[in-house]
Chains A and B, each alone.
Chain A
């Protein structure tokens, strides 16, 4: 039986279909999850996709974090279920306190949309094990509030524990502290990432296929579990 990976749709999610497609291309079965449904339908992992859930009202991710589906996601994530939050999903994970820090307005105040080079610095997480250590990949980035901030102590702790999963290369597109593009929780099952690997899974529709590794990683982990 193939691994079942849930993709949550919030009102205002944009990239849920692309995330489902990435899951399918990686060889797993995507399962659509609805924000008002607490039932996770026996999925093995969850992706929180990009977009503007609840119109980004109050703060990005602040209202989604209290949606019924998130009660289950938070509970299961704490019990070890793999969760990947991409862009708005990363914001939801920070608002949920599953990940430390916060994502704030880009220092330029501009919405940034570009193909972004990244270095995968931790290949020990549930979502990055298919990459070679320090792999340099290019995936699309598109955000207005992608500037990762945290206090110095938290940043030092993330660095010391190897929880900076991905770092921006060449340019820092949004003013993120220490060029941080993605982080994980201490256990490594929860990963938040501002750029969009689900848009780099086919040469026809993206800058390449280097984003597929995130989805190949989780499949590898679930199949061998």
Chain B
């Protein structure tokens, strides 16, 4: 089965308080040198059929209308090679 991955991230200009909280916790745990953290979402879609251009177009549509809120989020769609 083919897997398509949709990554959703808050747009750069939108404050990400969760990412900031993670970043502030890192030095306390000894993980230094990390200047910034942004937290996002990853969706793994298992396709029943082949990953052709039509299938990817439908997934982009799903990402645009549902998986991401494009008012505040950007998304990328990629095929994960087995």
Contacts and interface: CB of A to CB of B under 8 A. Distances in A.
A175 B18 CA distance: 14
B71 A150 contact: yes
B69 A102 contact: yes
A104 B18 contact: no
A222 interface: no
A149 B67 contact: no
A105 B17 contact: yes
Interface residues of A, number: 20
Nearest to A107: B17
B71 A62 contact: no
B60 to A, nearest CB: 17
Contacts of B79: none
Interface string B30-65: 000000000000000000000000000000000000
A101 B71 contact: yes
Nearest to A65: B66
B72 to A, nearest CB: 5
Given A62-B66, A66-B66, A102 B17 contact: no
B18 A102 contact: no
Which bracket fits the contact residues of B? 10 to 19
B14 interface: yes
B21 interface: yes
Interface in A11-56: none
Interface in A85-129: 94-95, 100-102, 104-109
Contacts of B10: 104
Contact of A104 (B14, B21, B66, B67): B14
Contacts of A59: 69
B72 A175 contact: no
Contact of B21 (A94, A109, A149, A175): A109
A175 B66 contact: no
20 contacts: A58-B66, A58-B67, A59-B69, A62-B69, A66-B66, A94-B71, A102-B71, A102-B72, A104-B10, A104-B14, A105-B17, A105-B18, A109-B17, A109-B18, A109-B21, A149-B14, A149-B15, A150-B71, A151-B13, A175-B15
Question: Which 8 pairs show the lowest CB-CB distances between chains A and B?
Answer: A102-B72, A102-B71, A109-B17, A105-B17, A107-B17, A59-B69, A102-B69, A109-B21
Interface of A: 58-59, 62, 66, 94-95, 100-102, 104-109, 147, 149-151, 175
Interface of B: 10, 13-15, 17-18, 21, 66-67, 69, 71-72
Given A102-B71, A107-B17, A149-B14, 12 more contacts: A62-B69, A100-B71, A104-B10, A104-B15, A106-B17, A108-B17, A109-B17, A109-B18, A147-B15, A149-B15, A149-B72, A175-B15
